[in-house]
Amino acid sequence: MDDKIRLIVSTLGPFRVKVNIDVSEYLATGLGSKAAGFYIATTTRELVNAIKVCRELKVPYLIIGTGSKVALSKDGFLGLLIKNRSDNLKVAGVKGKVSRGGIGIEEALIEADSGVSLKRMAEFGESQKLTGFEGLRASLGTIGGSLLVNDLLISRCHQVEVLDGGGEVKKKNIGELKREEVILTVIFKLKSKNI
């Protein structure tokens, strides 16, 4: 495994991949131990690249967000632990009406990378005067780690972009997701508070 970790280091960069590191401080639970390799992906492109390298080399990998649902064995993790910090968050589209009183937005599509925290998502919705994610303000976790276990996220999900088992990036509905697919970005549909 050490040879494969060295290949990952040379591929992803010696300043980006930490080797044989205690990862407890990177987990919200604090329940960690050592990982053979540790990498922080700051964009979905970096996330996809790291996963593809691990798959090609047949190195086990584990993707975490805040680490709020993760506890590692005291024996450590023998692969690459990837911390997903992809944080793109934007309004992707709006629907509304134009009248004499001005433009009235009824709903908006919000695109969020899988590494966006639930708290940040709730704050963004509020800043855009959108309703639907107020209940996430006190939640731990990220979009990618919480999407399939949070009923509120599921109910607002419009479309998901994933990296499939074959290395292809695809857009899917939430009901079509498969276990081996990695969530990259999610588009949510939220209503305006002004309606």
Q: For 51-64, what is each residue's pLDDT tens digit?
A: 999 999 999 999 99
pLDDT at 194 over 80: no
* 93-118 burial: b if 16+ Cβ within 10 Å, else e: eeeeeeeeeeeebebbbbbbbbbbbb
Summarised one tens digit per residue, pLDDT across range 112-169 is: 999 999 999 999 999 888 898 988 888 889 999 999 999 999 999 999 999 999 999 9
pLDDT at 184 over 70: yes
Summarised one tens digit per residue, pLDDT across range 160-173 is: 999 999 999 999 99
Judge contact between 120 and 112, C-beta under 8 A: no
Decide whether 2-84 matches 89-192 in CATH topology.
no
| The domain over range 89-192 is classified in CATH as 3.30.465.10 | yes
Summarised one tens digit per residue, pLDDT across range 70-110 is: 777 788 889 999 999 999 999 988 887 665 555 567 888 99
Q: Classify domain 2-84 at the CATH topology level.
A: 3.30.43
Q: Report domain extents, the chain.
A: 2-84, 89-192
